DNA sequence: CTCCCGCGTAAAAAAAGCGTCAACAGCATG
DNA sequence: CATGCTGTTGACGCTTTTTTTACGCGGGAG
């Protein structure tokens, strides 16, 4: 889940934000002055910062610059000041968004989501994209399989089958599920295909293809990939 | 020089934006309806889109979704509607920012700068935008390819294709992704184009074009650039 | 013990995909 | 107006991939 750093010197605003954010399963840290904010940002590495400009100890723009010196974390500025100059200054200092008080909680949360979303890396897939065994390595993101340092060439069907199995490492995948995921929803009984392609995967990846260690047959049920 | 796509059905707003943007050295395209906007976005590849939600031919949120189907270009929404629901809907559909009319030009431009800035690749401040192989060198920033000390002349399409591949060095890029990024979202099955242009890239860059080392074909899946 | 079914393997036939050459149209340039 | 460049499209031979067919093996049921 995402971590948010809330920075505001008005306790009631902090409380309202914290309650709303926690209800939506964000992890929340809070600070009421700039120095604390910078320290927390450095130690806690939030995914987004909500920053009030009117802080007691330092100018809000200085906080933005302090953050931008070392991180690109999204900064959502919150301010009572509505003048155009203030907004321009904050945005050009490195803020990502600027919301004037009083603000609607729904809107603020939506802007927060937008900020978090666009900060996500391109590969939106969750989880480790590389799976290693002692014999070979599968890189889901690059769609690449390596064995003894050399690339292994897989056909689209072989790759797709491998992908489904690896994404379910350790779990049994039924024949029907494999067929439908790889060949399409109208397939489900053509277990021939599985035997043929399993043999090819084993030939390309198993040290001893006739005694497979990683691509295990569960007779009558399906197949299982073991790391 | 950044390219902006302005979408609004009120001519005076478009004119005001275009004048201000051009004065600040942006390249500007404009559209007055959603269909044109989507087409221009596909063909011109703007760095940021300024989108009015009240278009004559389609719902603004649909335009956002149409863009988000294939690109992460920043979208700055412009709208006369101020209700929280509208904002939330647009932001959650994939917009990056939401400004209500009437708006201050200074603020809009500052938000535009913020949107463009954060969309820049991480290594933008002098990072390694140059990729070298033993045969040739690609400079992403300068949009230049060098081989044996001499510049290689690439057509716009060739360059675009090369760019996508190089930005994904080592990763397999699917045929569909290549087609959509280079030719636009309505393409996806015209694999013929890829074959023709791959051949041209190889002829210009590979030492032995018929045995490519860097532009690898993964039959049925896509292509991969290897350094 | 024998039969039968599911499994693995191999090799065929069929289909799909790839690279290449060449022609053509649109467009900007000179 | 001619020219050259670019992007699009078609045709063809060839290779790879998928599908289909065939056959041997082994374990469990009867």
Burial of B193 from C-beta contacts in 10 A (0-12 / 13-18 / 19+): middle
- At A121 the pLDDT is 67
Tell me which of A18-22, A41-45, A83-87, A125-129 is least confident. A125-129
Residues 167-186 of B with CB under 7 A from strand C: 175
- Cross-chain residue pair A84–B95, CB shorter than 8 Å: no
B145-173: average pLDDT: 92
CA distance A225 to A76: 45
Q: Which nucleotides of D are covered by protein (CB under 7 A)?
A: 5-11, 16-22
- Report the residue from A84, A118, A122 with minimal CB separation from B107: A84
- At B45 the pLDDT is 80
Which nt is closest to the CA of A218, judged by C1'?
C7
Question: Which CATH number applies to B124-225?
Answer: 1.10.10.10
Q: Strands B3-7 and B48-52: what pairing?
A: parallel
In this structure, is the CB of residue B157 within 7 Å of any atom belonging to strand C?
Answer: no
CA-wise closest residue to A143 among A128, A156, A134:
A156
CA distance A144 to A137: 8
What is the number of residues in chain B? 227
State what percent of residues in chain A have pLDDT above 70: 96
Which residues, including other chains, have CB under 8 Å from residue A60's CB and lie 6 or more apart? A34, A51, A52, A53, A54, A77, A79, A90
Q: Tell me what the pLDDT averaged over chain B comes to.
A: 90
Set of chain A residues whose Cβ sits within 8 Å of the Cβ of B117: 94
CA-wise closest residue to A175 among A194, A159, A162:
A194
A39-66: average pLDDT: 94
Chain A (75-94) residues lying within 8 Å, Cβ to Cβ, of chain B: 84-85, 87-88, 91-92, 94
Which nt is closest to the CA of A154, judged by C1'?
D17
CA-wise closest residue to B169 among B133, B198, B201:
B133
Q: Position of tokens 């929280």? A: B84
Which nt is closest to the CA of A183, judged by C1'?
D18
Q: Which nucleotides of C are covered by protein (CB under 7 A)?
A: 6-11, 16-22
Please tell me which residue lies nearest to nucleotide C10, judged from CA to C1': A196
The gap between the terminal CA atoms of chain A, to the nearest Å, is: 28
Query: pTM of the prediction?
Result: 0.74
B53-59: average pLDDT: 94
- C-alpha angle A128/A131/A135, rounded to 5°? 165
B117-130 pLDDT tens trace: 988 765 444 345 78
- At B125 the pLDDT is 40
For the domain made up of B3-119, the CATH class stated in words is alpha beta
A226 pLDDT above the threshold of 90: yes
Query: CA-based Rg of chain B, rounded to a whole angstrom?
Result: 20
- At B128 the pLDDT is 56
CA distance B64 to A79: 28
- At A127 the pLDDT is 53
A18-36 pLDDT tens trace: 999 999 999 999 999 999 9
| H, E, C per residue of A112-145 | HHHHHHHHCCCCCCCCCCEEECCCEEEECCCCEE
Task: For chain A, give every domain's residue range.
Answer: 3-119, 124-225
Q: Position of tokens 């675009």? A: B160
How many beta-carbon pairs below 8 A join chains A and B? 79
A88-123 pLDDT tens trace: 999 999 999 999 989 999 999 999 999 999 887 665
A193-205 pLDDT tens trace: 999 999 999 999 9
Which residues, including other chains, have CB under 8 Å from residue B194's CB and lie 6 or more apart? B161, B175, B178, B179, B223
A126 pLDDT above the threshold of 60: no
SS3 A17: helix
CA distance B212 to B203: 9
In a mutational test of the A interface, the residue from B70, B110, B113 whose CB has the highest number of chain A CBs within 10 Å is B110
- Cross-chain residue pair A111–B95, CB shorter than 8 Å: no
Helices (H), chain B: 11-23, 34-44, 60-68, 84-93, 105-119, 156-167, 175-183, 191-205
A176 pLDDT above the threshold of 60: yes
CA distance B108 to B196: 43
B73-79: average pLDDT: 95
Residues 125-144 of B with CB under 7 A from strand C: none
CA distance A156 to A161: 9
b/e per residue B100-118 (b: at least 16 CB within 10 A): eeeeeeebbbbbbbbbbeb
């Amino acid at each position: 889940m995402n971590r948010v750093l809330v920075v505001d010197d008005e306790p009631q605003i902090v409380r309202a934000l914290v309650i709303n954010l926690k209800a939506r399963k964000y992890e929340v840290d809070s600070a009421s002055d700039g120095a604390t904010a910078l320290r927390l940002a450095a130690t806690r590495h939030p995914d987004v910062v909500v920053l009030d400009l009117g802080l007691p100890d330092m100018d809000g723009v200085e906080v933005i610059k302090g953050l931008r010196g070392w991180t690109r974390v999204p900064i959502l500025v919150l301010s009572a000041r509505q003048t155009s100059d203030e907004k321009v200054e904050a945005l050009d200092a490195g803020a990502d968004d600027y919301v004037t008080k009083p603000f609607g909680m729904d809107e603020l949360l939506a802007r927060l989501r937008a900020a978090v979303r666009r900060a996500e890396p391109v590969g939106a897939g969750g989880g480790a994209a590389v799976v290693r065994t002692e014999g070979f390595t599968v890189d889901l993101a690059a769609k690449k399989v390596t064995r003894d340092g050399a690339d292994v060439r897989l056909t689209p069907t072989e790759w797709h089958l491998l992908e489904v199995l690896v994404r379910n490492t350790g779990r049994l995948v039924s024949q029907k599920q494999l067929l439908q995921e790889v060949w399409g929803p109208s397939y489900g009984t053509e277990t021939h295909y599985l035997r043929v392609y399993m043999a090819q995967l084993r030939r390309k990846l198993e040290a001893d293809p006739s005694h497979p260690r990683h691509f295990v047959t569960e007779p009558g049920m399906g197949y299982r990939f073991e790391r």
